[in-house]
Structure 1
Amino acid sequence: MSQFNNVTVPKKANIYFDGKVVSHTVLFPDGSKKTLGVMQAGEYEFSTGAAENMEILSGELEWQMKGDGAWTKVVGGEAFDVPANSVFLMKVAVVTDYCCSFLA
């Protein structure tokens, strides 16, 4: 899907890591939520209360669950899932565009 229709987008951006990661929230009529964002090259640690699906639209990164030894590479067109109530790490190689879906 290349666009979302009939959604609400709050004007305020979500800004993390001194502006190196920026996203906007997209709210759907059914109550679901996604964020669309861009990450600059760098290393990041995120925590999440809800399960997430991270779809990489362009760019590339490596990710792992905190404490896990293995890194998994993900490139544009691929996605990965993060379980609820977890912490995950990302090493972003180049500017990366993403869509994060919060799963019920």
Structure 2
Amino acid sequence: MLKNNEYFGGQVKSIGFTGKEKPTSVGVMAIGEYEFGTAEPELMVVVAGELIVKLPGESDWTSYKDGQQFNVSGNAKFQVKVPTETAYLCVYG
């Protein structure tokens, strides 16, 4: 079943679904800066656009563009700068 999610006053929207092996969501982020928290590990894939990310425990920001991915540990917070509207895929667990 599909689940609509909306965060940061509608600036980030996603649709969650049961993926082939793990819960998954696909969404879009508007230009801006956001802080996300994770309950479990996440694999984030940039579908189109760019995410500039500061992962937990890191002091540097890293840019991820079309087709690139990164992992976030569970029970953590990470910061994201979005310089252009960006589509992403997130796999949980």
TM-score (norm 2): 0.92
Greater strand content: 2
Q: Flag as ranges the 4+ runs of structure 1 deviating above 2 A.
A: 65-68
Asked which structure has the greater CA Rg, the reply is 1
2:39 is equivalent to residue 49 of structure 1: yes
For structure 2, the residue ranges without an aligned partner over 5 or more in a row are none
Distance 1:84 1:43, change over 3 A: same
2:17 is equivalent to residue 26 of structure 1: yes
| Greater relative contact order (Cα < 8 A, sep 6+) | 2
Residue 64 (structure 2) aligns with: 74
For structure 1, the residue ranges without an aligned partner over 5 or more in a row are 1-7
Which runs of structure 2 are paired with 1:1-104 in the superposition (5 Å)? 8-10=1-3, 13-28=4-19, 32-66=22-56, 68-103=58-93
Q: Which digits, 9 at most, give the CA deviation of each residue in 1:25-62, with x for residues without a partner?
A: 011465x2001000001000000011000000000010
Number of aligned pairs?
93
Identity level (%): 35
CA root-mean-square deviation: 1.4
